[in-house]
Structure 1
Amino acid sequence: MGDSNTRYADIIIDISHEALDRVFQYRVPLSLWKEVRPGSRVFVPFGRGNRETEGYVVAIRPEADYEESKIKEILRVNTEGVSVESELIKVASFLKEQYGSTMIQALRTVLPVKAKMKPKEEVFITLSADIEAAQKLLAEWEQKHYVARARFLFLLIEKGRITKEEAVKGCNFPLKEIRRLAEQGIVKLESRIKYRNPFPELTKRSTGWPLNEEQQAVADNFQKDYDNGKRGTYLLYGVTGSGKTEVYLALIEQVLAKKKQVIVLIPEISLTYQTVRRFYERFGERIAVINSRMSKGEKSDACERIRAGEADVIIGARSALFAPAERLGLIIIDEEHDGAYKSDTSPKYHARETAVYRAGLCGASVVLGSATPSVEAYARALSGEYKLWTLKKRAGNAMLPTTQIIDLREEFKKGNRSIFSGELHKKIEERLAKKEQIMLFLNRRGFAGFVSCRACGQVIKCPHCDVTLTYHRNGKLRCHYCGYEEPFIKQCPICKSPHVAAFGLGTEKVEAALHAEFPTARVLRMDMDTTRRKHAHEEMLAAFSKGEADILLGTQMIVKGHDYANVTLVGILAADLSLHEQDFRSGEKTFQLLCQAAGRAGRGDKRGDVIIQTYSPEHYSITTAAEHSYENFFKEEYTYRQLMGYPPCAHMLVILVQSGDESQSVIARLRIEKMIEQSQVGQEVPVQILAPGQASLSKLKDVYRQVLYLKHKDKETLLDLKRRLEPVLEKHPMFAGITIQFDFDPLSHY
C-alpha cells in the first residue's frame, strides 16, 4: 500500500470515553516523523468541520487501513509538559508488545475510565454582609416573626459557615429562599466537591514505630541512592514478621518529603483492611485506595484525587499500578511472589515487570518485598539486576516458631486413619486447655485429583515431563503437558500396595472431624463458601482476633499477613496437595504457602509451634520450609529449573486457541504449529514446541481450547516470533472466528 515515505498514526480522540474502541488514522507529515511516537499528544482536524481537536497517538504504522486519499494529516504536536496519559499509553504499548493483546485491550487496562459520575458536591453558606448589618437584619426579622428566616440567620451568625443540609433540614429553611438571599447580597453560596471516603472509621496516629538497626539500614541505603539520583529496583527479602511494612512506611515518608507520589500494591483484597489501617494511621487523608470491589463512583473519585494531587499514597491490587499519578516517585510491591500479580485476562501482564517499565519512564524506584521471593526476582537480585536487602530478625523479640514434620505414611502404618496425626491431636488439646488459639491450614491448591499411594507416598508421574498425572473420570491418568495417558491401576508401581487412590480432602470434612474429636472447641471455617458476602472476610478475622473462636480453619486465604498474638500453633494438614500440581512452579508455590502459614505462629511474646503433615517429608520444598531457609530452597529449585529449562532460566510463550467449533480449533492450532516450524528452519537454536494439544481445561463455557507451549532461552526470540504471527492471525481469513491469546511466562497451567 503506502510507500516507505509515508507513515500513519492511529489516534484516540476522546480518551475518557468508556467505549474506547475507535481509533482514527492520520498521516504523519515528514516534518513530524521524529516527534510523533506512541503517547504523543497531537492536534488533528476532526469531523466534518475539520475543527482542531487534541488526540493521543497510540500506534504508528507503515500502511493505511483504508483509502489514502481520504486520510487527513496531523497538524502539530502538543509539546506542553508530559501528561500522565502519554506515559500510560506507552505502558499500554509495552503490554501489547510484551504480552500480546490488541492495543485497544491494552489501553482499556491502562487508562482510568472516567465514569461519567456526577461528583457529590457540598454547598457551604457564608455571610456576605458584615456582622453588624446581619444582626440588625436578624432583629428586624424576629420582630416581623419570620421564624424560619430568623432561625437560619441566627445559626449562620453563630457558626460563620453552615452547609446547605444544615440550613434546609436543620432550620427548615427552603433552598429557593436561600438563593433569594444570595441574590440580595446577604449570603454567599460556595460548592466544593465531596469525595467518598471508603474508610470513615479510621484515625491518624501522629508517629510511627522506631525502626530497628536492620530496618534503619535499609531506609538509609534507599535515602542515599534517592538523593544521589539513583533509581533502581530493590528486593526486600525479610523473614515473616520482620517488619517489612514499617520499612515501606519509612521509604514512603522519604519520597513524600520530595513531593512525589507512591503506589503500593498488595496482592489480596482480603489484606487491604489490615494493611490500609497501618497506612491510614500514618498518612491520613493522603491515601487513596483502589480495588476491584469499589463502585465506579468510588474509583472515579480516587482517580480524581490522585490526578489533582490530593492523594499521594495510592494503595491497591494489581490495577492500581495504572493510577494517574503525575509525580510518581516510588512503586512498592508487597508479597511480590503472589500469583495475583499476573493478570488472567488479556493482556496477561505481570505487575512486577510492568512496574519496572513504568518506573523507568518517570524516574521512579521500585521496591519488591517478600518473605519468600519468587525465583525470578531472587535470581535477578543475585545477578545484580536488582539490589538485594535482607531482614533476618523478627520485629520486637518474637522468635521464629519450632517446626516439626510428620510423615503421614508412618501414621498410616500405625493404623491412624484420622485427618490429624497423633502429635497434632495432642498439641491441639494442649492449646485448647491453655486457652491459646490455633490455625489449621488446608492446602487446597492443585486439588485436581493426583493419584498417590498411602502406604509409601509414591505419586504417579508422567515419564516424559516429571509432572504428576491427573485422574480423569474415564479411568485414565493423563499428563496435561504432553498428553501421555495410562490406565489407572489400583496398585502402586513401587511397593505394590493396593492403597492407591486419588487424593481428596475438603474443609467441610475437616470441620466435621474437628467437631467429632474436639467437641468443646469453637471453630471458624474460612473458605470460598463462607466468605461470599462483601465484608464476611473482615468480620471473621475480627471475631478470631477478639478470641471468639479457638480454631481458625481455612484454605490459603488465612495464611496471608495476619497478625494474631495469641496464635501459638499452626497445623498444616496436607502439605502435598500443591506439590503435585501439574505445574513446574509447584515446588515454589508449596514452599511459599508453608512459609506463610508457619509465619503465623508465635508473633506475640509466646513461642509458636508449627506441625507440617505430609506424605513426602523428604521433598526439599518441605524440608527447607521447616528450617525457614529460603536460600537452601532457592539452590535446589534453581538447579531444577536449569535442568528442565523453565523460567527464569528460559522463557515460555503460550498460544491459546479458542473456538466454538472443536474441529476449527484443532485445525487452527495445527496451522499455527506448521507456521512456527517453517519459521524455525535453519535457526541455530530453534524454538521448542512442547505439548501441542487440548488445554487441560479443554472446554470452557462451550468454547473449545487448544494450546501450544513454546520454550526458548532467549526472550527476544519468542517475542519476535509472536510479532511475526500476530498480523497473520489477526487478518488471515483462515483464522476467522478463532480467538487467539498469548501469554508470556505463564504463572498457571492452561
Structure 2
Amino acid sequence: MKYADIIVDISHEDLDRTYQYLIPDDLKAKALIGIQVLIPFGKGNRQIKGYIIGLSDIPKWREEAIKPITSILEDTLMIEGQLITLAGWIKDTFGSTMNEALKTVLPVKRAVRQKENKVIRAALSKEELSAVLEREKKKNNKGRVRLLQELLIHPSLQFEQVKNDLNISAATVKDLEKMGIIQSEASVLYRNPVKQQPAALKAVTLSPSQQEIAEDFLKDYKEGIRKTYLLYGVTGSGKTEVYINIIEEIIKTGKQVIVLIPEISLTYQTVMRFYQKFGERVSIMNSRLSQGERYDQYIRAKNGDIDIMIGPRSALFTPFKDLGLIIMDEEHEGSYKSESPPKYHARETAIERARLCGASVVLGSATPSLESYKKALEGEYTLYRLSEREGIRQMPTIWTVDLREELKARNKSIFSRKLKSMIEERLQKKEQVMLFLNRRGYAGFVSCRSCGLVLKCPHCDISLTSHNNGKLVCHYCGYEESFPDKCPSCGSKYIASFGTGTQKVEEMAKKEFPGTRILRMDMDTTKKKGGHEEILSAFAKGQADILVGTQMIVKGHDFPRVTLVGVLAADLSLYAADFRASEKTFQLLTQAAGRAGRAELPGEVVIQTYQTDHHSIVYAGKGDYEGFYKQEMLYRKLMSYPPASHILAVLAASKEEEKALKASELLTEALKQWVDKEELIKYHVIGPAPARLSKANDIFRFCFYIKEDDYQRLVAAKDFLDGFYRFSEEFQGIVVQFDFDPMNSY
C-alpha cells in the first residue's frame, strides 16, 4: 500500500474528513490501521498527530501534491488507536464502511454541555468584606448584600446554592468578581448514573465448585494465559458470585473490567450487586442515560476514575487503557447482535478486543448459544460447568400442560385448571407468582372475521397492532390510525384484534383472582426513566402478589418469595419465521423456569402449550440443555444452518421496487460469474426474494442468502459483492447491507 487515509481529530463530525498521505518505503511495514503517526499539516507544515484509518494504492488527487508521513509513533499505543484497529476488523469481518465502524467504536464527542462544580470564595479579608457590605447596604444593592452576608458566615459557597437558595443572579456574581471582591473556581463535574448509595455487600463464601472455577481461571491469568471461557451454569447456580470473585482479583493487578449484560437484564438489582462490592469504581452505560451522562462515563473510564463498566454491547468500546477482562453475561441473548450496520456480534468483537489488549473473556449463560457450546465442546473455548443451585436451593419442579386437553374439557380461560389451582394455593400462603407471556415474534393483529382482511400499515408490509387507547400502531415506522367501527373492505362489524397481550392477561387475572394485587411489566409500563426499577422494586418489597410480563421479567431477577412461574403460551415464539425459533423458545422457557424457588421456598413452573411434543418444550420441561443441544444440532446440520454452517444475508433496498429487485438479481448473477471464473466450489445461494418485511417506511427490500461452511470464504464473497456494487453505476439510489449469521430473518 502506498497511501494512508488519516484523521486528525476524533469526533463524529470529523470522521468523514480524512487526509491522504504518502507512506515512505521505510515505514510501509509499520503503517497499519489504528497506528498513530506524525504528519506535516496545513500550509506551514506544522507537525501534528493523527491516526491511520485506511490504506490504499490509489491517490485521491495529484500524486506530487500528496505529502509523506513524517514518522510513526510506536511508543504511544493510545486507546483510540486500539479502537480504530478494532473498527478496521469489524469492517472487514462483518461488512460495513470504515466510517460506520468508527462511529460504532469511538465515543460520541459532541458539543454536550459539561456540568461544572462552581465554588465562590471571598477574595478579601473579613474586615475588608465587612466594609464592602456596609457600602452596598447604603446603596441598597439587595442581591450583593445577601451574598456578602453569607460569605462572612461561610468562606466558600456552591454556585448552585447562591443562584437557587439565595436567589442571586449570575450577573451579580460576575460584577463582584470583576471588582475583585469574590473569586470563583470551576471544575468539571462528571455525572455518575448510579444515584443510590447501596448497603455494603455481605461477604460471600464460594461453594467448592464455584471456588474451583475461580481458582482455575485466576491460575491461567497469573501465568499470562489469555483465553475465552464459557461458564455454563444452571439458573441460580451463582455465576455472578464467580464473576465478582475474579473481577476483585483482576482489578487488584491494576487492570480494568467490562461486564456486558443485555439491555433487558441491565436492572437496578444486577447493578447494585456490583456497586455494593466495588462502590464508586463502577459505572454503567445504557440507552436510558442522557447524551451527557453517556459521554461522561467514557471520560471517567479514560481518566482512570473507574475500574468496571457495566452495560449492553456498546459498553464493549469503553476506552479503558489497561483492560484485563471482558465478561459477557447471558451470552446467548440476540440483543448482542447489532441490527444496524455494522451488524457485528458483541461475542466475536469482545474476543478480538481482548486479543488486541491481552485480556481474557468469560462468557456466561444458563442456556448457552449453540455457537458457543459447540466451540466449547471442540476445545476452542474452555468449558466450566455449574450444574447445581447455590446452597440448599433446589431446581424447580416443571409441569407441562396440554392446552388442547383444556379446550376438550371446555376450559376456555387462559389459565389451565392446574395453573389456576396452583395460583390460588400460592395466594393463600402469601407467596408470589410470576406470569410470563411469551410474545416473542408475535403481535396482536386486527382482522375481519367476515372477509379475512388484516389491517396493514400503508407504508410497511406489516400488520397493525391494536393498543388499549383505541389506536392501531405500526411497530416498524410508528404510523397510527384509529380502530375502525367496521371493516373497510366489506363493511362487516365483526372486526376485532387477535392475540393476547399483557394488559389482557392482567384484566383476566383480576377477574379470576379478585382482590389480588397485580403488577404489569411491559414496554408501556416501563417507558419512563426508572420504570423498570420502580416495578421490580415494588414486587421485591412484596407490594404485589402477581407480576405479569413479557420476556423482560424473566431475565436475571431474584425474588425470594416467588414460588410459582406460569408460562401462558410457551409455543408462540415457535411460530416466528426464524431458524433459531426453537433455540429462542428453549432459552426463554428455561430462563422463565429459573425465576421460581430462588430462596429456601421450593419452586414450581407450569408450562402451557399446544405442542407438548416439540423438542424445545420437552427438553425445557426436563431442564435438559445437553439433550436439546444434540437434537437441535441434527436439524442445523441437515439444513446447513449456523453453527453447523454459516449464512450471509444480503439486503438490497430502494424507494423503487423495480430497482431493488434488479439490484438483488445483479448481485446474485455477479456472484455466480465470479465463482465460475475463480473456479471456486459453488456457494449455495438462496433467492433473491422479497424480504419478510418487504416494505418498510416506503422503502422496498429484497434479499438473498449465501450458505457456506467456511466463514472466511463468506467474507471473501462479501468483499467481492461490496466492491461490485460500489463501483457499478447500476446501484445509484440503492442501499446494500450485509449480515453474517443473522439473528432475525429478513
Kindly indicate whether the alpha-carbon contact (under 8 Å) linking 1:202 and 1:277 is maintained by their aligned counterparts in 2. no
* C-alpha distance in 1 between matches for 2:163 and 2:580: 63
Decide which moves more: 678-687 or 533-542: 678-687
Kindly indicate whether the alpha-carbon contact (under 8 Å) linking 2:259 and 2:329 is maintained by their aligned counterparts in 1. yes
In the alignment, is residue 175 of structure 1 matched against residue 173 of structure 2? yes
Aligned match of 2:533: 538
* C-alpha distance in 1 between matches for 2:334 and 2:381: 20
In the alignment, is residue 44 of structure 1 matched against residue 39 of structure 2? yes
Aligned match of 2:713: 717
AA in 2 matched with 1:688: H
Kindly indicate whether the alpha-carbon contact (under 8 Å) linking 2:647 and 2:708 is maintained by their aligned counterparts in 1. yes
RMSD over aligned Cα atoms? 2.7
Kindly indicate whether the alpha-carbon contact (under 8 Å) linking 1:141 and 1:149 is maintained by their aligned counterparts in 2. no
Decide which moves more: 424-433 or 373-382: 424-433
Aligned match of 2:76: 81
Instruction: Write out aligned runs for 1:387-406 (5 A).
Output: 387-406=382-401
* C-alpha distance in 2 between matches for 1:220 and 1:680: 50
TM-aligned CA deviation for residue 149 of structure 1: 7.8
Aligned match of 2:732: 736
Aligned match of 1:325: 320
In the alignment, is residue 268 of structure 1 matched against residue 263 of structure 2? yes
Q: Secondary structure at the match of 1:542?
A: helix
Aligned match of 1:453: none
Alignment counterpart, residue 116 of structure 1, candidates 108, 111, 116:
111
Instruction: Write out aligned runs for 1:117-136 (5 A).
Output: 117-124=112-119
Distance of aligned partners of 1:156 and 1:624 in 2 relative to their CA distance in 1, 3 Å threshold: same
1:614-657 Cα offsets, whole Å, 9 max, x none, are 11212221121122121211111122212221111111101000
TM-aligned CA deviation for residue 377 of structure 1: 0.6
Aligned match of 1:428: 423
Alignment counterpart, residue 683 of structure 2, candidates 687, 696, 701:
687
Q: Secondary structure at the match of 2:342?
A: coil
1:470-494 Cα offsets, whole Å, 9 max, x none, are 9999xxxxxxxxxxxxxxxxxxxxx
Alignment counterpart, residue 433 of structure 2, candidates 435, 438, 459:
438
Aligned match of 1:342: 337
- TM-score normalized by structure 2? 0.87
* C-alpha distance in 2 between matches for 1:633 and 1:740: 36
Alignment counterpart, residue 605 of structure 2, candidates 610, 625, 634:
610
AA in 2 matched with 1:16: S
AA in 2 matched with 1:356: I
Instruction: Write out aligned runs for 1:592-603 (5 A).
Output: 592-603=587-598
Aligned match of 1:29: 24
In the alignment, is residue 246 of structure 1 matched against residue 241 of structure 2? yes
Q: Secondary structure at the match of 2:13?
A: coil
The percentage of aligned residue pairs carrying the same residue is 49
1:248-276 Cα offsets, whole Å, 9 max, x none, are 11111111101111111110245332211
TM-aligned CA deviation for residue 71 of structure 1: 2.4
TM-aligned CA deviation for residue 580 of structure 1: 2.8
Unmatched tracts of structure 1, length 5 or more: 1-5, 451-469, 474-501
1:651-707 Cα offsets, whole Å, 9 max, x none, are 110100001110111111111111111122274632101242111000111111000
Aligned match of 1:488: none
Q: Secondary structure at the match of 2:583?
A: helix
Aligned match of 2:474: none
AA in 2 matched with 1:696: R
Distance of aligned partners of 1:140 and 1:343 in 2 relative to their CA distance in 1, 3 Å threshold: same
Aligned match of 1:702: 698
* C-alpha distance in 2 between matches for 1:641 and 1:445: 21
Aligned match of 2:153: 155
TM-aligned CA deviation for residue 202 of structure 1: 2.3
Distance of aligned partners of 1:135 and 1:445 in 2 relative to their CA distance in 1, 3 Å threshold: closer
Kindly indicate whether the alpha-carbon contact (under 8 Å) linking 1:127 and 1:156 is maintained by their aligned counterparts in 2. no
Aligned match of 2:57: 62
Distance of aligned partners of 1:204 and 1:305 in 2 relative to their CA distance in 1, 3 Å threshold: farther
* C-alpha distance in 1 between matches for 2:319 and 2:575: 42
Q: Secondary structure at the match of 1:695?
A: strand
Aligned match of 2:219: 224
Unmatched tracts of structure 2, length 5 or more: 138-144, 446-460, 465-496
Kindly indicate whether the alpha-carbon contact (under 8 Å) linking 1:398 and 1:603 is maintained by their aligned counterparts in 2. yes
Moved over 6 A (4+): 126-129, 135-147, 167-173, 470-473
Instruction: Write out aligned runs for 1:272-291 (5 A).
Output: 272-291=267-286
TM-aligned CA deviation for residue 109 of structure 1: 0.6
Kindly indicate whether the alpha-carbon contact (under 8 Å) linking 1:204 and 1:280 is maintained by their aligned counterparts in 2. no
TM-aligned CA deviation for residue 155 of structure 1: 3.4
TM-aligned CA deviation for residue 410 of structure 1: 1.9
Kindly indicate whether the alpha-carbon contact (under 8 Å) linking 1:261 and 1:329 is maintained by their aligned counterparts in 2. yes
Aligned match of 1:566: 561
Decide which moves more: 51-60 or 529-538: 529-538
Aligned match of 1:467: none
TM-aligned CA deviation for residue 508 of structure 1: 3.3
* C-alpha distance in 2 between matches for 1:200 and 1:278: 14
* C-alpha distance in 1 between matches for 2:656 and 2:687: 21
* C-alpha distance in 2 between matches for 1:699 and 1:136: 77
- Number of residue equivalences: 688
Aligned match of 2:230: 235
In the alignment, is residue 447 of structure 1 matched against residue 442 of structure 2? yes
Aligned match of 1:653: 648
Kindly indicate whether the alpha-carbon contact (under 8 Å) linking 2:122 and 2:151 is maintained by their aligned counterparts in 1. no
In the alignment, is residue 526 of structure 1 matched against residue 521 of structure 2? yes
Distance of aligned partners of 1:37 and 1:584 in 2 relative to their CA distance in 1, 3 Å threshold: same
* C-alpha distance in 1 between matches for 2:376 and 2:227: 11
Q: Secondary structure at the match of 2:267?
A: helix
TM-aligned CA deviation for residue 592 of structure 1: 0.4
Kindly indicate whether the alpha-carbon contact (under 8 Å) linking 1:653 and 1:710 is maintained by their aligned counterparts in 2. yes
TM-aligned CA deviation for residue 329 of structure 1: 0.7
AA in 2 matched with 1:723: D
TM-aligned CA deviation for residue 108 of structure 1: 0.5
* C-alpha distance in 1 between matches for 2:656 and 2:119: 62
